[in-house]
Amino acid sequence: MVMELTVRQEELADAALRIIARDGLAAASFRAVAAEAGWSLGAVQKAFPAKDRMLAGAFARLRARAAPLPPGEPGRPTLGGWLVALLLGILPLDEQRIAAQRQGDAFAQRALVDPEIAAAIAESDDHVRALLTSLVARARSEGEVPSNIDPETVAWAALALAQGLAAQLLYRQEPEEKVRERLEGTIAALLGTDGGLTAGSVKEPAP
């Protein structure tokens, strides 16, 4: 979803996002946004002719502020280290990222009844998986990960790990260093670089 916003619309959309992070999407009414932004109710209604358009603007602002990739070339110097840095950058481990996660979750719920938002989220997920697939394939060709690791499977698993862990951290916060340690072990297992099971391998049961 691509939506061009005026400066006023951006300010009001940002106010709506603050309300969504604090009180949920249902609380982002015209009146609440006007109070949050310090504008009149009429000014909000003039900027956005319908609540759906205001929420679409808020979603556009959320996507525009998505967490950037770690600095440097993607997947370098090691794919495992880069993936850990990527996930640490987006997981809700401080107030700003917690707010962004709550906002994202609210729009994920709205996607159940809003095809445009559903399509935009799906497109974003597809883009992330495509990037991860290409990086794993490169790492495999360079010998960084075993040849029997399937890039698409790792990409799907990594995204699922990020989304599941983000949800858990909202109701059970943990220190960032503890999360980092767990991510390092899990990513190493996904990439087959931990000396454990890799795709296609089978461990015989103990006698």
Q: What is the CATH architecture assignment of 79-191?
A: Orthogonal Bundle (1.10)
Residue 27, CB-side half-sphere exposure with 13 Å CA sphere: 14
For 45-83, write each residue's pLDDT tens digit. 999 999 999 999 999 999 888 877 898 999 999 999 999
| Assigned superfamily of 7-64 | Homeodomain-like (1.10.10.60)
What is the rounded CA–CA span in Å between residue 54 and residue 49? 8
pTM (predicted TM-score)? 0.86
For 117-149, write each residue's pLDDT tens digit. 999 999 999 999 999 999 999 999 999 999 999
What is the rounded CA–CA span in Å between residue 10 and residue 4? 9
For 147-185, write each residue's pLDDT tens digit. 999 999 999 999 999 999 999 999 999 999 999 999 999
Give residues with Cβ within 8 angstroms of 18, minimum separation 6.
Answer: 36, 99
**In the chain, where are the structural domains located?**
7-64, 79-191
